[in-house]
Amino acid sequence: MTTSNCIFCRIVSGEIPCAKVYEDERVLAFLDINPLMPGHTLLIPKKHSETLFDMSPEDAAACGAALKKVAAAVFKGLDAEGLNVLQNNHEIAGQEIFHVHFHLMPRKTGDGFKVPWPAKKYGPGEMESVLQKILRAL
């Protein structure tokens, strides 16, 4: 996808409006237009990358620093009791907009939102073999 047909690039360029929360040289944060709860915020690198894996180290670092700052403001400003950060890569993981973005979701008692967490157990030897696969890819 080129940047001209990417909705988030069009937000960065100002072609599509957004409720801007934060901006610096590399990063933009704005309110999600279809929030899971009030204050649901998206944080993106201004430069187009499809997923986390495609980002430059500089953009990743800038997003990390801004994430801390913006998450703290969302948490404080919304009088939240907690906050989830969610980041989807590829369709299987729920990514619908293919410009990397971080969801910041302030949480309150009774907000009705629950992240599914169907935890499992490793089989015999499986944890070590999984670990080796990741280490080989590093």
Q: Given candidates 1, 15, 24, 33, which one binds ligand AMP under the rule CB under 6 A?
A: 33
Q: Residue 33's binding partner, choosing from Zn ion, ligand AMP, none, with beta-carbon cut-off 5 to 8 A by kind?
A: ligand AMP
Catalytic one among 40, 48, 101, 103?
Answer: 101
Taking CA atoms, 100 is separated from 65, 84, 87, in Å, by 16, 17, 8
Interacting positions 8-37 with Zn ion (CB under 5 A): 8-9
Judged by CB under 6 A, which of 6, 7, 78, 83 binds ligand AMP? 7
> What's the order of all strands across the beta sheet hosting 41-45?
20-23, 27-31, 41-45, 102-107, 82-86
**What is residue 118's three-state secondary structure?**
coil
Q: Which of 8, 83, 78, 91 is nearest to 43 (CA)?
A: 8
Asked if 101 is an active-site residue, the reply is yes
Binding to ligand AMP in span 57-116, by CB under 6 A:
88, 94-97
What CA–CA distance (Å, rounded) separates 69 from 55?
20
- Contacting residues toward ligand AMP, per CB under 6 A: 7, 16, 18, 30, 32-34, 42, 88, 94-97
Active-site residues, by number, are 101
